[in-house]
Amino acid sequence: MTRSEQLFERAVKRIPGGVNSPVRSYGAIGEAPRFIEKADKCYVYDVDGNRYVDYIDSWGPMILGHNFPAIRESVIKACENGLSFGCATEIEVEIAEYICERIPHVDMIRMVNSGTEAVMSAIRAARGFTGKDKIIKFAGCYHGHSDCLLVSAGSGVMASGVPDSAGVPKGCTQDTMTAVYNDADSVEALLKEAEGNVAAVIVEAVGANMGVVPPKPGFLKRLRELCDEHNCLLIFDEVITGFRLAFGGAAEYFGIRPDLVTYGKIIGAGMPVGAYGGRKEIMDLISPCGPVYQAGTLSGNPVAMAAGFTQLKYLYEHQEIYKELEAKGEKLYGGLKKIVEEKGLPYQVNYNSSLASIFFTDQEVKDYVSAKTSNLDLFAKYFKGMLKRGIHLAPSQFEAMFLSTAHTDEVIDQTLEAMRGALGDL
Ligand code: PMP
């Protein structure tokens, strides 16, 4: 028995499913998860002494690679002054100014502790600002586990959401409408049906929680127009894309201005942080200056802010990183696409800059329904084949691969060889 297997045996007795977040489970693979002991640059090391090239990157924040020296040092330095005060600090002002002065659609920002909190709070702000109740989300987009967003996704539009989780009362999802990703007409139909009662349309500008599904040309622009026509807000959930596609996230990358934006993990460089921000007249409604209540004892925690601020400054001052990530993405994911074509396999490789997924289906993957046509048994075999070859992927078809600047050309070549081998074994 490996140490990971031993730990998993203990873990399942005391932690539901043996993991503190279901995405870590290897349930779909039928194995014990690899328990990670440490990480450095593009590698993670498990408790059995195996080294893997890591494409999870803590689900995004390790955009500069694991254990980046300047970030580590800023955290150690912050710790010397104490871990938390629950009071206002200078660094919170600095990081807020830094972001607002550099991202044109963010006039004001509020720090929270997770992506879930960021989205939940942004939606409350949108409802408070517009005085409307309904929201439109897209099937296959994930926005955290707050009640009103845990809506089951059907194959078409749904005017009233059905909870996707036990423990969520019907009343919590009845105002959540579900549209089809990459289909702006489905949004228009819902907006008409709601007769002016939609507070916001929320979207992952690049779908990354049904596997990676990039927006079709014109889709996001049309969403902006529809929101303007129907007097509702456009929220970009940039928990994955913020500071990754560009410093200004997907909004900058695609040239669309959202009214509100939500950030997550990247803004804390791996510490538990989230944030939401946007137009001043909306953010002015947040407590204590306005009637929309939102709070958090540890929000803006000084250690988390130190990590995040160091990373944000580094990213802004080295914006060539975004070209580098785009080029690495082209090399790795474009290379994977070529392997698939050379082998005559009917699979789909979707990618946008540093984010990608391979889907084991012969259909174009453009929304949740087409993503779900992927053969999950083939995914599990591919995943195991990659792990055997020293490559650590997310253990689910419906997650993304994350490249960092620490993935060197040599590592990318090794990964392509592993992909060739793993696909050959299927
Ligand atoms: N929004 C998106 C787009 C996400 O990908 C996630 C989580 N990966 C969340 C929100 C929720 O973030 P958290 O897990 O930090 O609560």
Do 385 and 293 lie in a common domain? no
Do 301 and 333 lie in a common domain? no
Q: In the chain, how many domains are there?
A: 2
Do 207 and 61 lie in a common domain? no
pLDDT number for residue 386: 98
**How remote is the CA of residue 241 from the centroid of ligand 1, in Å?**
11
Strand partners, 112: 274
Nearest atom of ligand 1 to the alpha carbon of 23: 8
Do 257 and 236 lie in a common domain? yes
Pocket test for ligand 1, best of 19, 62, 143, 150 (most atoms within 8 A of CB): 143
Do 48 and 78 lie in a common domain? no
CA atoms within 13 A on the CB side of 312: 26
Do 243 and 345 lie in a common domain? no
**How remote is the CA of residue 363 from the centroid of ligand 1, in Å?**
27
Cis peptide before 288 (omega within 30 of 0): yes
Domain boundary among 302, 317, 332: 317
DSSP H/E element including 358: strand 355-359
- Phi and psi at 9, nearest 5°, equal -60, -40
pLDDT number for residue 66: 98
pLDDT band at 153 (very low <50, low <70, confident <90, very high): confident
What CATH number should be reported for the domain holding residue 406? 3.90.1150.10
Domain boundary among 317, 351, 383: 317
- Is pLDDT above 80 for 45? yes
**How remote is the CA of residue 143 from the centroid of ligand 1, in Å?**
6
Helix (H, G, I), strand (E, B) or coil at 426: coil
Do 326 and 234 lie in a common domain? no
Pocket test for ligand 1, best of 209, 261, 266, 355 (most atoms within 8 A of CB): 209
**How remote is the CA of residue 264 from the centroid of ligand 1, in Å?**
7
The protein residue whose alpha carbon is closest to atom 12 in ligand 1 is: 115
Q: Is 236 in the pocket of ligand 1 (CB under 6 A)?
A: no
Do 25 and 158 lie in a common domain? no
Q: What is the pTM of this model?
A: 0.98
Query: Residue range 24-45: average pLDDT?
Result: 96
β-pairing, 43-46 vs 51-54, is antiparallel
pLDDT number for residue 279: 98
Do 408 and 262 lie in a common domain? no
pLDDT number for residue 337: 98
- Residues 211 and 219: beta-carbon distance below 8 Å: no
Q: Would you call 388 a catalytic residue per the annotation?
A: no
Give the model confidence (pLDDT) of 85-120 as tens digits. Answer: 999 999 999 999 999 999 999 999 999 999 999 999
Give the model confidence (pLDDT) of 236-249 as tens digits. Answer: 999 999 999 999 99
Domain boundary among 264, 295, 317: 317
Percentage, residues of the chain above pLDDT 90: 98
Query: Residue range 136-153: average pLDDT?
Result: 95
User: CA 301 to CA 290: how far, in whole Å?
Assistant: 23
Give the model confidence (pLDDT) of 280-297 as tens digits. Answer: 999 999 999 999 999 999
Do 351 and 217 lie in a common domain? no
Q: Is 116 in the pocket of ligand 1 (CB under 6 A)?
A: yes
What CATH number should be reported for the domain holding residue 203? 3.40.640.10
Q: Would you call 265 a catalytic residue per the annotation?
A: yes
Do 20 and 100 lie in a common domain? no
pLDDT number for residue 196: 97
pLDDT number for residue 329: 98
Nearest atom of ligand 1 to the alpha carbon of 116: 16
Q: Is 114 in the pocket of ligand 1 (CB under 6 A)?
A: yes
Q: Is 142 in the pocket of ligand 1 (CB under 6 A)?
A: yes
β-pairing, 348-352 vs 355-359, is antiparallel
Strand partners, 163: 151
Do 131 and 85 lie in a common domain? yes
- Is pLDDT above 80 for 155? no
**How remote is the CA of residue 225 from the centroid of ligand 1, in Å?**
26
Domain that holds residue 11: 3-67+319-424
Look up the ipTM and state it: 0.99
Query: Residue range 244-259: average pLDDT?
Result: 98
- Residues 274 and 114: beta-carbon distance below 8 Å: yes
pLDDT number for residue 198: 98
- Is pLDDT above 90 for 152? no
- Is pLDDT above 80 for 193? yes
Q: Which of 157, 69, 60, 170 lies closest to 115, judged by CA?
A: 60
In 3-state terms, the chain is what percent helix, strand and coil (to 5)? 40, 15, 40
Average pLDDT, whole number, for the chain?
Answer: 97
pLDDT number for residue 307: 98
